[in-house]
Amino acid sequence: MSAESTATTSFGHVIDGEERGSLGNEHFASVDPWTREPWADVALGGAAEADLAVAAARRAFDEGPWPRMGLAERGALLHRLADLVESHADELARAESRDMGKPVADARDKDVPRTALNFRFFADHARLVTAETYPMDSGHHAYSRYEPVGVVAAIAPWNFPLMLESWKVAPALAWGNTVVLKPAEDTPATATILARLAVEAGLPPGVFNVVHGYGPGSAGEALTTDARVDRITFTGESGTGRAIAGAAARHLTPVSLELGGKGANLVFADADLDDAVDWSIKAIFSNAGQVCLAGSRLFVERPVLEEFTARFVAAAEALRVGDPAQESTQVGPLASQEHWRKVTGFLDEPGGKVLTGGRGDGWVVRPTVIVDAPLDARVHREEIFGPVVTVTPFDTEDEAVRLANDSPFGLNAMLFTENLSRAHRVSAALRAGTVWTNCFFVRDLRAPFGGVGDSGWGREGGTFSREFFTEPKACVMAV
Ligand code: NAD
């Protein structure tokens, strides 16, 4: 991105409770993917700004009130932040939409409420969850304590910026840690707004810091190699996850990695086809397919292949594609020119027959359905992260499971069937962190979330987040 822009809105780092520019006054432009014009100036941080932010978080943890506060008091501040998120829903949604082209209605009606829920849920969960006690045969009494770890570095992607940032920041804060968040360079705006709201909610200075910048050789890498950071929570590409795991090894900093996906979606012949079509459309074309959990490999049992494909293509063609600022838009442009080039690169060598879709105006890719692609084609193997799906037939349940599991990724899978026994059998056999039957994207925040293989390390959600963002300690008492 160019450092020059005509944008008038600006977003700074938020360090120690103050919004500020970079030490060398460097900045970069955030480009609106629909207008393809810069819309905001953003402070460009590097190692020096990351250093300041980590120092502030360290001070706030070592000397400040946050880790020493009771859970109820901390929780009340996080609830206040959730209230402010809701009362700024329009501002947050517009900023997110301009940063990455997400339909503004999706940002306002789905991502912002979920962000508020994340803060409320983790505040309440930390307060209400019980710790274990172990009455011992010897008469000793053991129990566990879950203590904050210290400074958490959170590094986030651009596809659900605010919502995924809150998924990391909320549990880290609820358990008494301090945080330095580095949002993706394509979507900086809502992180700064969130940090402004955190100051307004009354979080003490240094508890929640935001530093903007890039990954390698920039603020991101600096956070992953800093010995004062106690945990790194990362969501992004599998290749970046490998780089971060390598960097974190230097200080043995524990890392949580939520990485890429290539979700399989199995439609059995006994499925309710209305439901299967509806969910399968949402699973691949929501957020213009820029969803780690996207159902990008559709496998359909042969007896319903023709009917399902015809209805699926018709539904894909009926989606309203266009200006994300319009309330009715369902599919906006891709998030950046770089990403648009990557996705259209797949369309240049589809490996099969394109039934519908292809390039739209500007950085738009229309909902695209590919059939007859060989199983070793790139469109089948690699994460496209766009509105592009392959449809492949299968003949038996065993074959469906084999096809689904034939991927280095293992984030999630879906199946559509009216046969309950099959639903349990196939759910057990699929190699994935989450399996949905007859639905998609439904989450209980207490349930484990994460992936297998190239989709990541570890799980977050409920007690799984507690394990990562605390140091569990065993205390043993003699009688
Ligand atoms: P990315 O890996 O390019 O970037 C993610 C973040 O990492 C950005 O903030 C970036 O600046 C930073 N970064 C890049 N290199 C770094 C380095 N060497 N050190 C430190 N930080 C570095 O990912 P993206 O393109 O922003 O996001 C899309 C990817 O995220 C897709 O692969 C998608 O599947 C994945 N994703 C996964 C989940 C999940 O929960 N598993 C959720 C959303 C997105």
The predicted-structure confidence for 362-419, as pLDDT tens digits, reads as follows 999 999 999 999 999 999 999 999 999 999 999 999 999 999 999 999 999 999 999 9
Are 387 and 293 in contact by the 8 Å Cβ rule? The answer is no
Q: Is 369 left (phi over 0), alpha (psi -120 to 50) or beta?
A: beta
Ligand 1 atom nearest to CA at 339: 25
Compute the distance from residue 235 Cα to the ligand 1 centre, in Å.
5
Ligand 1 atom nearest to CA at 239: 2
Q: What is the pLDDT of residue 7?
A: 65
Q: Which of 96, 221, 292, 301 is catalytic?
A: 292
Residue 306 has φ and ψ, to the nearest 5°, of: -65, -50
Measuring from atom 11 of ligand 1, which residue has the nearest CA?
A: 215
- How many of the other CB atoms lie within 10 Å of CB of 201? 19
How far apart are the C-alpha atoms of 155 and 177, rounded to whole Å?
16
Helix, coil or strand: residue 141: strand
Task: Based on the residue annotation, tell me whether 292 is a catalytic residue of this protein.
Answer: yes
Q: Residues in the chain with pLDDT < 50?
A: 1-4
157 CB near ligand 1 (under 6 Å): yes
Measuring from atom 9 of ligand 1, which residue has the nearest CA?
A: 184
Q: What is the pLDDT of residue 8?
A: 74
Q: Which of 258, 301, 383, 460 is catalytic?
A: 258
Q: What is the pLDDT of residue 190?
A: 98
Task: Based on the residue annotation, tell me whether 439 is a catalytic residue of this protein.
Answer: no
How far apart are the C-alpha atoms of 431 and 428, rounded to whole Å?
8
- Rounded to two decimals, the pTM is 0.96
How far apart are the C-alpha atoms of 317 and 371, rounded to whole Å?
16
Compute the distance from residue 193 Cα to the ligand 1 centre, in Å.
21
Compute the distance from residue 291 Cα to the ligand 1 centre, in Å.
12
267 CB near ligand 1 (under 6 Å): no
Compute the distance from residue 179 Cα to the ligand 1 centre, in Å.
18
Q: How far, in Å, are 54, 229, 299 from residue 217 at the CA level?
A: 17, 17, 41
14 CB near ligand 1 (under 6 Å): no
How far apart are the C-alpha atoms of 100 and 84, rounded to whole Å?
22
